[in-house]
Amino acid sequence: MGLKDKAENTAEGVKGQAKEHAGRAGDDRELEAEGKTDQTKADLKQAGEKVKDAFRK
């Protein structure tokens, strides 16, 4: 389950980057902020996965 979660978190981060860039290109600050929020969520989830991995070893 850990590998699947890591892949989903990475995909969420990439999606956030795409939103952020689309927001910048279209001068849509709301979309840009949403993309940054998605990236932050993905980073936090990845950190949680790393903590889980540290305790498994």
Question: How far is 35 from 19, CA to CA, in rounded Å?
Answer: 5
pLDDT score for 15: 96
* Span 37-41, average pLDDT: 96
Q: Which domain holds residue 9?
A: 2-56
| Whether residue 23 has pLDDT greater than 90 | yes
pLDDT at residue 1, as a whole number: 53
Task: Give the pLDDT confidence score for residue 5 in this predicted structure.
Answer: 85
For residue 21, give both structure tokens: 């860039």
Note whether 22 and 40 are within 8 A (CB). Answer: no
Q: Provide the number of structural domains found in the chain.
A: 1
Residue 34 near residue 28 (C-beta atoms within 8 A) = no
Note the pTM of the prediction, 2 decimals: 0.84
Q: What are phi and psi of 13, to 5 degrees?
A: -65, -40
Mean pLDDT along residues 19-35: 97
